[in-house]
Copies of this chain bind each other. A is one copy, B any other.
């Protein structure tokens, strides 16, 4: 279906964008950064802005007809079928605290559906690439989610409890208590780790399109499933509550906690 869209040129550009993002991130990461406080208190840095404007310029130069949605500078050409979705620094908290789990997230969506996603970490030089219908790679090598068929054996991750509303936190607590192991922190790394077969479940809320669009192709191309809390496949316009699971059996078990009484709790694409 979308095989024709993601061609060599698009993949090459995406790699170049991640290279450029990493170079800028590292330049700022190795020294202290000025912190600005947004209304929602998430720290934003000069690096954030420099990365996003650089990536936007690269897209404009190669695909001036494509739309762009970015964390820092909003949207252009919102009616384009192909739209890039950019998070110049995912994990800005970690970035500012000197912890190398920040990443750049680059996604391409087709009619709102994420069909390519890249997660890049410049310190460890780890780069995940997911393309709809293809096997996800980590730095060029194919990776797969690991077999894990029960919550009791599962490691569940979430970045921080503070991103949940009180009602969501209650739901997450119940699910977490059914899981064998829980991991806090990590941002996009949690989803990358799930794709690499090291984490089994990730459940979060309050995510924006630039937070989750790049993740879905990476997770699904490695054999996982990524939906909202109703079981709907993630796309532009999803409500920001997400679940990623290593496989369908685990997803189904977790959905009993996320949407226990909803007739919509069936997995649908």
A residues in contact (CB < 8 Å) with B: 32, 41, 43, 93-94, 96-101, 121, 123-126, 146, 155, 157, 160, 162, 181-186, 189-190, 192-193, 196-199
Contacts and interface: CB of A to CB of B under 8 A. Distances in A.
Nearest to A122: B124
Contacts of A197: 32
B184 A98 contact: no
So how many copies of this chain end up in the complex?
A: 2
A183 B146 contact: no
A189 B123 contact: no
Given A32-B146, A32-B198, A146-B32, A183 B97 contact: yes
A70 B195 CA distance: 33
A223 B215 CA distance: 40
Contacts of A146: 32
A189 to B, nearest CB: 5
A99 B184 contact: no
A260 B146 CA distance: 48
A96 B32 contact: no
Given A123-B123, A183-B93, A99 B32 contact: no
